[in-house]
Amino acid sequence: MLRVEEACELLIHRAPPRRVERVPLEDALGLILAEDLRAPESLPPFPRSGMDGYAVRSEDTRLATRENPVVLPLAGVIPAGHPQEAELAPGTTVAIMTGGAVPPGADAVIRLEEVRVTPEGVRIFRHVPPMENVAPIGEDVKEGELLLEAGHQIRPQEINLLAALGILEVPVFARPRVGILSTGDELVAPHEAPGPGQIRNSNSPGVAALVRAAGGIPILLGVARDVTEVIAGTLRESSGCDLLLTTGGVSVGRFDVVREALAVMGAEQLFWRVSIKPGTPVCAAVLDGRLVIGLSGNPAAAITDFDLLVRPVLDHLLGRRRLGLRAAEGVLDQPVLKKAGITRYLRARAYNGPDGEIRLDTSMAQRAGVLSSMRFANAYAVIPAHAGPMPEGTRVRVLLQDDADVFVPQPRGDA
Amino acid sequence: MLRVEEACELLIHRAPPRRVERVPLEDALGLILAEDLRAPESLPPFPRSGMDGYAVRSEDTRLATRENPVVLPLAGVIPAGHPQEAELAPGTTVAIMTGGAVPPGADAVIRLEEVRVTPEGVRIFRHVPPMENVAPIGEDVKEGELLLEAGHQIRPQEINLLAALGILEVPVFARPRVGILSTGDELVAPHEAPGPGQIRNSNSPGVAALVRAAGGIPILLGVARDVTEVIAGTLRESSGCDLLLTTGGVSVGRFDVVREALAVMGAEQLFWRVSIKPGTPVCAAVLDGRLVIGLSGNPAAAITDFDLLVRPVLDHLLGRRRLGLRAAEGVLDQPVLKKAGITRYLRARAYNGPDGEIRLDTSMAQRAGVLSSMRFANAYAVIPAHAGPMPEGTRVRVLLQDDADVFVPQPRGDA
């Protein structure tokens, strides 16, 4: 059976091209730059005072000492935003505020705490070296400088920097639009009371939350009955999506309607069934250039399928470097008794043991039909196919969900 | 001078009470439950088939062997969502789909891959023990069970679980509404071209991004001139906010307008100036029961003030357990030569060294007026006040920004 790694490779190989979008700066937080950004101008754009104080010509203070202060007559006040265009006359000073433009002629600012203001002028008790408390033009950013490279994830500090330079639209990899269709005759909307044999469609909101948490935009396509034509019709109408996810209708029974619908529509099947327990009956196809991934209908299995197969595709489309969940090594707290022909992804609570290593508590219910035990899990313990019974303490691969608050010790001796 | 820890304590002590809100389930992702949630019903609500197969009475298969199979006439088909209310007649079977309701009388399901269907009926080659492939009522969740405790942060898997139980509104700690007011005569809107001595107001979008990244809702209050009455007027009108942030107007100069405005309005001052470099001139006050924090006007200093003082307040209001940035220990890559009377928060790029320890590269520009170097930083290296020159290799405290992709080694020998 296809392994997860092989399925992921296929999916990423056949994923639609990344869309580059110019988004308003305020919507760019967390997104990844698709192009290099260069500075269109210098920062600061004028010589700026870094302190509240007095702008001087440094040479006028050259001989100033505590005993023999220099007295410079006060020629004016420069608040921030109100520059003085006239040159500072030699032998004079002007009061200047933090952020104010140092006037032509002046080349230094002395902090107001250091001077004494008298009716004759401002008394200065030491030499103020050139450029003291003055940020020259371009100190922060020089015009033309490479600001941020393609591939950089935009953080708040960069929003501030880009706004300061007037860059108010940035080219980023667009959030993927992900259509979500639940299938199943047994489903009622979450706000409806299920009749006999019915259950609520919890996969639509659940998968939507997974998409949103991963950075995508979920587009709910509703619930389709277990009828090939109904499913095909809905998929056909979802042309605004970059990626389509279905849940249910992929089992071995006679209601394998999602694959049937895809076949009827002429979609190219990429795979069906992957070595994932729970979540084996997952399929993927390419329909009119768009990727369709049919997840298991079982909520716990659908979540596992998503984390293993869909998440890497979304990471790829968003331009992230790491595709999929963070992988590490962990130690089983409980033995694994059952041997399975396919790879098991046990729900696990990962935590750091006393030695710093990651411990994996897998004592919660593991049955595919049990969703509630996932509230205790923050990771998957990966049990390879055909791996014999494993005693407690066995080291296995672990995939950490984003909220897993554990540290990953690095193997010693890498130096 | 007040230390950061003391300032934080004051702020959290005087923060407004947490608001509890019932939000639609789809808006609850990432928020923290304010109350325990119990299950209003059981899951599954009926005995559910876990496989595509055939529902049987276990006792009818008791004597079945490979050599002497039992043949059970097929009495019908039960797709998911279409329950059969009639009891399964002894000695018969019905086809059932994954998720279908096991009919009264039947107590086990055998997978379709294991049987042979003949004109006489379904041949079964082994004993099917009671409850095989049947999820009893309440296997997943029992009515009345404690589902999620107050304090739990809601993740996608819980959205699915709550939707399955029809819980479509949840009580969470509301996202704080944070008013943001930039002050300064030198400021123009980011889309405007600055005139002589002017700069763009980058702090409004920058602080808004910090608020959003921390989980709050930024409310932009615009730019106020450096006039006490103008600032007071804007603050007075911002009654819809839980928290007010200003930038600028808090220095020692004659344009200390934010504190003046707060004084004029009768706000109770909590503090002014905290041992933070860059970002010392930060103030806090309580105005009509709301917290106002006046950040430095310098973008780099405003960001540092925010990370150290505002972030913990937002974490507190959101009900998070950890308040503020993740703290750890790191090793300086460069010496720190300057001794300062106040605590320095050096921009640092934290990364894991070959031994796994956190290394801190502080080689980027550290001047308060330089914002651009923050694009290289993902952490603050904390240099205590009055700490003498520190050689390269000194261990210091480090505060990690959320995007810092480092692991935090635990001290050995804790076991």
Q: What percent of chain A has pLDDT over 70?
A: 97
- B197 with A46: Cβ contact below 8 A: yes
Residue pair A111/A51 in contact by the 8 Å Cβ criterion: yes
The answer on B24 and B14 residing in a single domain is no
Q: Is A167 a residue whose pLDDT tops 60?
A: yes
Selecting from A100, A166, A251 the residue whose C-beta is nearest the C-beta of B197 gives: A100
Measured between beta carbons, the chain A residues lying within 8 angstroms of B414 are 354
- B83 with A196: Cβ contact below 8 A: yes
Higher per-residue confidence, B353 vs A252: B353
Q: What is the pLDDT of residue B413?
A: 45
The CATH number of residue B332's host domain is: 2.40.340.10
The answer on A178 and A147 residing in a single domain is no
The answer on A199 and A146 residing in a single domain is no
Is pTM beyond 0.90? Reply is: yes
Selecting from B161, B401, B415 the residue whose C-beta is nearest the C-beta of A372 gives: B161
Q: What percent of chain A has pLDDT over 90?
A: 86
- B44 with A377: Cβ contact below 8 A: no
Q: What is the pLDDT of residue B251?
A: 66
Q: Is B415 a residue whose pLDDT tops 50?
A: no
A-B contacts (CB, under 8 Å): 318
Measured between beta carbons, the chain B residues lying within 8 angstroms of A299 are 160-161, 164
Higher per-residue confidence, B414 vs B253: B253
The answer on B346 and B214 residing in a single domain is no
- A371 with B407: Cβ contact below 8 A: no
Measured between beta carbons, the chain A residues lying within 8 angstroms of B187 are 81
Measured between beta carbons, the chain B residues lying within 8 angstroms of A223 are none
- B412 with A193: Cβ contact below 8 A: no
The answer on A145 and A128 residing in a single domain is no
Selecting from B29, B190, B253 the residue whose C-beta is nearest the C-beta of A212 gives: B29
The answer on A363 and A335 residing in a single domain is yes
Q: What would the pLDDT profile of B302-346 be if each residue is shown by its tens digit? A: 999 999 999 999 999 999 999 999 999 999 999 999 888 999 999
- B252 with A52: Cβ contact below 8 A: yes
- B375 with A297: Cβ contact below 8 A: no
The answer on B165 and B32 residing in a single domain is yes
**A368-401 residues labelled b (16+ CB within 10 A) or e (exposed):** bbbbbbbbebbbbbbbeeeeeebeeebebebbbb
- The least confident of A137-146, B110-119, B399-408 is B399-408
Report the alpha-carbon distance of residue A385 to residue A344 in Å, rounded: 7
Measured between beta carbons, the chain B residues lying within 8 angstroms of A372 are 43, 140-141, 147, 161
Q: What is the ipTM of this complex?
A: 0.94
**Average pLDDT rounded to a whole number, residues B372-398:** 96
User: Looking at the domain assignment, is residue B406 inside a domain?
Assistant: no
Report the chain A residue with the minimal C-alpha distance to residue B214.
A156
- A206 with B159: Cβ contact below 8 A: yes
Instruction: Using pLDDT thresholds of 50, 70 and 90, give the confidence band for residue B239.
Output: confident
**Average pLDDT rounded to a whole number, residues A93-110:** 95
User: Looking at the domain assignment, is residue A405 inside a domain?
Assistant: no
Q: What would the pLDDT profile of A342-390 be if each residue is shown by its tens digit? A: 999 999 999 999 888 999 999 999 998 899 999 999 999 999 999 989 9
- Mean pLDDT across chain B, nearest whole number? 94
Report the chain A residue with the minimal C-alpha distance to residue B136.
A369
Q: What is the pLDDT of residue A251?
A: 66
- A206 with B160: Cβ contact below 8 A: yes
Give the closest-approach CA distance of B198 to chain A in angstroms.
Answer: 5
Q: What would the pLDDT profile of A23-49 be if each residue is shown by its tens digit? A: 999 999 999 999 999 999 999 999 999
Q: Is A254 a residue whose pLDDT tops 80?
A: no
Q: Which residue range is the domain that position B340 belongs to?
A: 326-400
**Average pLDDT rounded to a whole number, residues A305-321:** 98
Q: Which of A258, A282, A317 is the C-terminal boundary of a domain?
A: A317
**Average pLDDT rounded to a whole number, residues A305-331:** 97
Measured between beta carbons, the chain A residues lying within 8 angstroms of B160 are 202-203, 205-207, 209, 299, 302-303, 371, 374
User: Looking at the domain assignment, is residue B413 inside a domain?
Assistant: no
Give the closest-approach CA distance of B249 to chain A in angstroms.
Answer: 10
Measured between beta carbons, the chain A residues lying within 8 angstroms of B256 are none
Strand partners, A56: A108
**Average pLDDT rounded to a whole number, residues B362-375:** 95
The answer on B157 and B27 residing in a single domain is yes
* DSSP 8-state symbol, A52: S
User: Looking at the domain assignment, is residue A25 inside a domain?
Assistant: no
Measured between beta carbons, the chain B residues lying within 8 angstroms of A156 are 206-207, 209-210, 212-213, 303
- Mean pLDDT across chain A, nearest whole number? 94
- A160 with B254: Cβ contact below 8 A: no
Q: Is B414 a residue whose pLDDT tops 90?
A: no
Q: Please state whether beta strands B243-247 and B177-183 pair in parallel, antiparallel, or not at all (unpaired).
A: parallel
- A166 with B255: Cβ contact below 8 A: no
Instruction: Give the tokens for residue B343.
Output: 């605590």
Report the chain A residue with the minimal C-alpha distance to residue B366.
A140
Selecting from B193, B213, B370 the residue whose C-beta is nearest the C-beta of A139 gives: B370
Q: Which of A296, A317, A338 is the C-terminal boundary of a domain?
A: A317
* DSSP 8-state symbol, A309: I
Instruction: Using pLDDT thresholds of 50, 70 and 90, give the confidence band for residue B238.
Output: confident
Residue A324: partners with Cβ closer than 8 Å, 6 or more residues away: A8, A307, A308, A311, A312, A315, A399
Q: What would the pLDDT profile of A382-411 be if each residue is shown by its tens digit? A: 999 999 899 999 999 999 999 898 887 765
Give the closest-approach CA distance of A215 to chain B in angstroms.
Answer: 13
Q: What would the pLDDT profile of B289-301 be if each residue is shown by its tens digit? A: 899 999 999 999 9
User: Looking at the domain assignment, is residue B85 inside a domain?
Assistant: yes
Q: What angle do CA A318, A246, A182 make, to 5 degrees?
A: 125
Measured between beta carbons, the chain A residues lying within 8 angstroms of B98 are 251, 253, 297-298
The answer on A158 and A127 residing in a single domain is no
Q: What is the pLDDT of residue A80?
A: 82
User: Looking at the domain assignment, is residue A74 inside a domain?
Assistant: yes
Q: What would the pLDDT profile of B148-200 be if each residue is shown by its tens digit? A: 999 999 999 999 999 999 999 999 999 999 999 999 989 999 999 999 999 99
- B163 with A212: Cβ contact below 8 A: no
- B212 with A352: Cβ contact below 8 A: no
Q: Which of B74, B106, B135 is the C-terminal boundary of a domain?
A: B135
The answer on B305 and B239 residing in a single domain is yes
User: Looking at the domain assignment, is residue A411 inside a domain?
Assistant: no
- HEC profile for chain B? CECHHHHHHHHHHCCCCCCEEEEEHHHCCCCEECCCEECCCCECCCCEECCCEEEECHHHHCCCCCCCCEEECEEEEECCCCCCCCCCCCCCEEEECCCCECCCCCCEEEEHHHCEEECCEEEECCCCCCCCCEECCCCCECCCCEEECCCCECCHHHHHHHHHCCCCEEEEECCCEEEEEEECCCEECCCCCCCCCCEECCHHHHHHHHHHHCCCEEEEEEEECCCHHHHHHHHHHCCCCCEEEEECCCCCCCCCHHHHHHHHCCCEEEEECECCECCCCCEEEEECCEEEEEECCCHHHHHHHHHHHHHHHHHHHCCCCCCCCEEEEEEECCCECCCCCCCEEEEEEEEECCCCCEEEECCCCCCCCCCHHHHHCCEEEEECCCCCCECCCCEEEEEECCCCCCCCCCCCCCC
- A200 with B164: Cβ contact below 8 A: yes
Domain count, chain A: 4
The CATH number of residue A36's host domain is: 3.90.105.10
Q: Is B132 a residue whose pLDDT tops 60?
A: yes
- B374 with A157: Cβ contact below 8 A: yes
- A98 with B198: Cβ contact below 8 A: no
Measured between beta carbons, the chain A residues lying within 8 angstroms of B135 are 367, 369-370
- B252 with A205: Cβ contact below 8 A: no
User: Looking at the domain assignment, is residue B117 inside a domain?
Assistant: yes
Instruction: Using pLDDT thresholds of 50, 70 and 90, give the confidence band for residue B79.
Output: confident
